[in-house]
Chain A
């Protein structure tokens, strides 16, 4: 059974710092991996999708990598801003129906 773990559960950094969020999964036979952002009381916003044949994706200040052999994905945020404060969720796509298995999330706080 696929399990997804995110470490740390919470992170507080000063504005301008570069940071890395970690995601690990137990079954390397994932199809894709997707990172989401969730603001308090809101829905999920897709940030990056890494397909199984890819090793990384970039969007602006965000870079996500995927290493299926080690069961890890990282989300790198460059030059963090207070507006980046949110919960970040990673989700592994299963092979059957592409069902998402979510981690518990990392709550990020960027202090001005």
Chain B
């Protein structure tokens, strides 16, 4: 049982480039989330999804896009990368019931130069 898998683990982008951060989970969780963590700060929600075909904005969605075509996958797209997007990105998932907590991936460390 792999849990939540994120790829890549590290990436350096040049300003203006685009990339997709991959997230997949094998727990059949309906709910999936993308968070970013800046140094010394807590995590902030970028986008979330409550099921395939349904996505919604979080607290800091500007500069990002998501899609949810399957239950397992929730990729995060960065268009026109900016230095302000330098951060560590975490994907998380949970069941639709509230008895169990969140499961987080190991993160993608992104640097935009």
> Hey, which bits of chain A sit against chain B, CB under 8 A?
4, 31-32, 34, 36, 41-46, 49, 51, 89, 91, 93, 97-100, 102-105
Contact = CB atoms under 8 A, between A and B. Distances in A.
A101 to B, nearest CB: 8
Interface in B14-51: 31, 33, 35, 40-45, 48, 50
Contacts of A105: 42
Contacts of B35: 100, 102
A97 B101 contact: no
Q: Which of A45, A98, A102: most chain B CB closer than 10 A? A: A98
Nearest to B40: A104
Contacts of A41: 109
Given A31-B98, A41-B109, A45-B104, 9 more contacts: A32-B101, A43-B90, A44-B43, A46-B102, A46-B104, A89-B42, A99-B58, A102-B44, A104-B42
A46 B90 CA distance: 14
Given A51-B98, A98-B98, A42 B48 contact: no
Contacts of B41: 104
B90 A100 contact: no
Contacts of B105: 43
A102 B102 contact: no
Contacts of B109: 41
Contacts of B31: 97-98
B33 A34 contact: no
B94 A98 contact: yes
B102 A100 contact: yes
Contact of A99 (B45, B99, B103, B106): B45
Nearest to B103: A46
A89 B105 CA distance: 16
Contact of A97 (B43, B44, B48): B48
Contact of A4 (B42, B50, B103, B104): B42
A44 B104 contact: yes
Contacts of B40: 104
